[in-house]
């Protein structure tokens, strides 16, 4: 019995000593790894409160419990517990998982499955990965220790500074700092929201590369792109393959769009199309610059303006087209085509403290700078109203003087009856002429006054009117086109009109009135080298149903008219001087002229006409310059 007790105590002491020795020395105990596996796959146990080895013919498992610390190369694994399969070289760890690779990458989770041979770790349960600047989270994260690629396939989120990006799948390339997101990608930033199905994002440069249809919503503006890149930190974008920018007033697209949020400019290159959806206007060009601060657009390289209406569409082409807005107190700011210089604008709408403006035109002619092209909008409107009132008032006074003044009626074939004076278009449109500053559409109800400036080699075309000029100015405040420097207007193939300045009043974006000032001239070709001619200081005309209806000439009025019989044979030609003249049109052709205020007329038989005297001063017939179709303007 004593012997049995002695040996029993000895055996118990050995077991206790063995357990204490295992706990004290397990940090130095090497794992029984598969020596046939790849080189560098060895996992060392640095710490564990409790360690169990289970070895059978089919199993070789090691259990580690409490404050587990494992090391493989430059990677350290921490967990509450772990099970190591010594034959397959797999580790399953649980609780407070923390993986640190080279003191740069830290990965956390609740459960870890690690293949020590391939060095691929899969973490689930509050999985999180960070490199100090970028944090990726998801229900499941996979990290390749060799390639340094972290990924998620069951949705995930990336946080980089103020930006948060979510997607169904994501792959983070640690060395390149590049993240590849796929399916239902949403990038949320305080200043914008980006949505797409695929995106490449550099976490260091914060550049998003567009590789799929993408929408960027900035609140007041939305951008659509399929290729290019967007620097989310600097606010610079370079999109290709016909991107589109849309806001509450219009859209902009081109082959390539560059945007710089620092200076508030967008640069459109190749087949640019800007559409003002409020005013139903489109601007086409091969190059354009949009200033988002001043809300301006400069278009060069064959720009073409299109103004749509239900009755007629107006086309205008020039070397350069510029559009902007004017608000009370703001300076009129126009950019340079050659370069950008900051100088004060030459004119302001109302007296205000001067401020620095963005740019100024270098190559706009001096006459435009001092002409009423750049005059106050209100002054232009009042001047136009007064001018029209004067013309209509003169016509009204004429009716009272008809019985006492010598009136000569010169009828031109075919003979047509005279319309009653009280039904003349001048009287009918009188109310319109003094209300030219009233809003024409919803856009005019806003505080923004948009203007358009076209300069050098301007050509215009519509079904009812064609024209050429050096420069044109249009403002939505009064819907008037102002044509400058050698403007010529054609209303048909045989009627030409011009003056030093021509104003075209529009209503619903269709020409309603025409006014020619200084050296005003109307020419109507009535035969080969035969021209009816009317000139005066000012000529005012009205358009009805896209055709000239009535015109009023005042100030040193002078005419040369050919008269024909009912068969169309010319009978005589007359030369008349008069203070004022009324002209009536049919199918855009003059069919009646009424001379008012002591006219002086000389009539020559057609066969005895003095050919050298049958062209008035400043006569010019330039029908060859007339645009024949809208397609000419597109070339």
Which range among 399-403, 434-438, 484-488 has the greatest average pLDDT?
484-488
What band does 352 get if pLDDT is binned at 50, 70 and 90?
Answer: very low
Cβ–Cβ < 8 Å for 191, 176: no
Sign of CA dihedral 161, 163, 164, 170: negative
Q: Is residue 539 part of a domain?
A: yes
Please say if the pLDDT value at position 119 is more than 70: yes
Pick the more confident residue, 206 or 338: 206
Distance in angstroms between the alpha carbons of the first and the last residue of the chain? 120
Q: Is residue 148 part of a domain?
A: yes
Q: What is the pLDDT of residue 382?
A: 35
Q: Which residues of 334-359 are buried (b: 16+ CB within 10 A; e: fewer)?
A: bbbbeeeeeeebeebbeeeeeeebbb
Encode pLDDT of 62-109 as tens digits. Answer: 999 999 999 998 999 999 999 999 888 999 999 999 999 988 899 999
What average pLDDT does the structure give for the chain?
76
Q: Is residue 203 part of a domain?
A: no
Pick the more confident residue, 280 or 305: 305
> Which CATH number belongs to the domain containing residue 29 in this structure?
2.60.450.10
Q: What is the pLDDT of residue 447?
A: 54
Q: Is residue 92 part of a domain?
A: yes
- SS3 sequence of 558-615: EEEEEEECCCCCEEEEEEEEEEEEEEEEECCEEEEEEEECCCEEEEEEHHHCCHHHCC
Pick the more confident residue, 481 or 587: 481
Q: What mean pLDDT do residues 383-409 have?
A: 37
Q: What is the pLDDT of residue 538?
A: 92
- Please report where in the chains the tokens 């855009």 appear, as a residue: 588
Please say if the pLDDT value at position 10 is more than 60: no
Please say if the pLDDT value at position 375 is more than 50: no
What band does 406 get if pLDDT is binned at 50, 70 and 90?
Answer: very low
Please say if the pLDDT value at position 19 is more than 90: no
Write down which residue in 138, 154, 170 finishes a domain: 154
Q: What is the pLDDT of residue 53?
A: 87
Q: What is the pLDDT of residue 39?
A: 53
Encode pLDDT of 520-532 as tens digits. Answer: 999 988 888 899 8
Task: Round to whole Å and give the CA distance between 580 and 598.
Answer: 9
Q: Is residue 618 part of a domain?
A: yes
Write down which residue in 154, 184, 208 finishes a domain: 154
Looking at the structure of the chain, the number of domains it has is 2
Residues of the chain above pLDDT 70, percent: 74
Q: What is the pLDDT of residue 413?
A: 35
Please say if the pLDDT value at position 458 is more than 80: yes
Q: What mean pLDDT do residues 169-193 have?
A: 91
Encode pLDDT of 274-283 as tens digits. Answer: 998 887 889 9
Q: Is residue 523 part of a domain?
A: yes
Name the least confident of 92-101, 181-190, 469-478: 469-478
Q: Is residue 100 part of a domain?
A: yes
Cβ–Cβ < 8 Å for 333, 358: yes
Write down which residue in 154, 178, 203 finishes a domain: 154
Q: What is the pLDDT of residue 52?
A: 87
Q: What is the pLDDT of residue 8?
A: 53
Please say if the pLDDT value at position 534 is more than 50: yes
Furthest-apart CA pair in the chain: how many Å? 166
Of 524, 520, 514, the C-alpha closest to 551 is 514
**Tokens representing residue 488 in the block:** 């010529």
Please say if the pLDDT value at position 381 is more than 50: no
The domain in which residue 590 lies consists of 385-438+494-634
Q: What is the pLDDT of residue 40?
A: 62
Q: Is residue 574 part of a domain?
A: yes
């Amino acid at each position: 019995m004593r012997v049995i007790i002695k040996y029993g105590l000895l055996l118990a002491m050995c077991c206790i000593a063995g357990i204490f020795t295992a706990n004290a020395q397990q940090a130095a105990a090497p794992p029984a790894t598969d020596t046939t596996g790849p080189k560098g796959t060895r996992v060392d146990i640095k710490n564990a409160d409790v360690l169990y080895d289970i070895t059978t013919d089919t199993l070789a498992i090691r259990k580690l419990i409490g404050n587990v610390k494992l090391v493989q190369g430059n990677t350290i694994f921490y967990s509450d517990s772990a099970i190591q399969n010594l034959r397959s070289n797999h580790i399953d760890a649980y609780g407070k998982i923390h993986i640190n690779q080279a003191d740069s990458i830290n990965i956390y989770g609740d459960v870890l499955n690690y293949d020590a041979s391939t060095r691929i770790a899969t973490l689930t349960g509050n999985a999180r990965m960070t490199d100090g600047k970028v944090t990726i989270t998801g229900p499941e994260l996979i990290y390749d220790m060799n390639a340094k690629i972290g990924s998620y396939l069951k949705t995930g989120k990336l946080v980089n500074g103020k930006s948060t990006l979510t997607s169904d799948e994501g792959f983070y390339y640690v060395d390149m700092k590049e993240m590849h997101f796929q399916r239902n990608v949403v990038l949320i930033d305080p200043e914008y929201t980006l949505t797409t199905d695929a995106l490449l994002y550099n976490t260091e440069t914060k550049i998003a590369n567009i590789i799929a249809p993408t929408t960027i919503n900035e609140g007041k503006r939305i951008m659509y792109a399929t290729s290019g890149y967007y620097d989310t930190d600097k606010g610079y974008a370079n999109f290709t393959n016909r991107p589109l920018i849309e806001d509450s007033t219009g859209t902009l697209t081109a082959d390539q769009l560059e945007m710089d949020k620092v200076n508030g400019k967008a640069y459109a290159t190749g087949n640019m199309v800007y559409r003002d959806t409020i005013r139903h206007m489109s601007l086409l060009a091969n190059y354009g610059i949009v200033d988002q601060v001043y809300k301006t657009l400069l278009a060069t390289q064959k720009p073409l303006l299109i103004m749509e209406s239900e009755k007629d569409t107006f086309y205008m082409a020039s070397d350069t087209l510029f559009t902007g807005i004017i608000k009370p107190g703001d300076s009129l700011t126009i950019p340079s085509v050659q370069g950008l210089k900051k100088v004060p604008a030459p004119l302001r709408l109302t007296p205000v403290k001067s401020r620095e403006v963005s740019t100024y035109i270098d190559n706009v002619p001096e006459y435009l700078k001092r002409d009423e092209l750049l005059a106050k909008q209100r002054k232009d409107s009042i001047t136009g109203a007064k001018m029209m009132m004067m013309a209509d008032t003169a016509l009204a006074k004429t009716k009272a003087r008809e019985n006492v003044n010598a009136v000569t009626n010169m009828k031109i074939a075919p003979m047509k009856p005279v319309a009653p004076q009280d039904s003349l278009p001048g009287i009918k449109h009188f109310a319109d002429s003094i209300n030219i500053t009233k809003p024409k559409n919803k856009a005019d109800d806003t505080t923004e006054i948009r203007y358009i400036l076209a300069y050098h080699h301007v050509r215009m075309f519509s079904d009812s009117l064609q024209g050429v000029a050096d420069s044109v100015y249009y403002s939505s405040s009064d819907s008037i086109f102002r044509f400058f420097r050698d403007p010529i207007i054609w209303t048909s193939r045989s009627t030409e009109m011009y003056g030093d300045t021509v104003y075209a009043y529009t209503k619903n974006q269709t020409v309603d009135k025409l006014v020619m000032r200084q050296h005003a001239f109307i020419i109507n070709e009535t035969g080969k080298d035969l021209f009816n001619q009317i000139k005066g200081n000012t000529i005012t005309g009205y358009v009805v149903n896209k055709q000239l209806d009535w015109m009023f000439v005042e100030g040193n009025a002078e005419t040369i008219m050919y008269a024909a019989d009912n068969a169309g044979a010319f009978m005589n030609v007359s030369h008349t001087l008069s203070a004022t003249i009324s002209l009536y049109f049919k199918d855009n052709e003059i069919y009646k002229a009424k001379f008012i205020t002591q006219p002086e007329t000389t009539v020559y038989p057609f066969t005895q006409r003095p050919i050298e005297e049958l062209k008035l001063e400043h006569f010019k017939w330039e029908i060859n310059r007339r645009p024949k179709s809208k397609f000419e303007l597109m070339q």
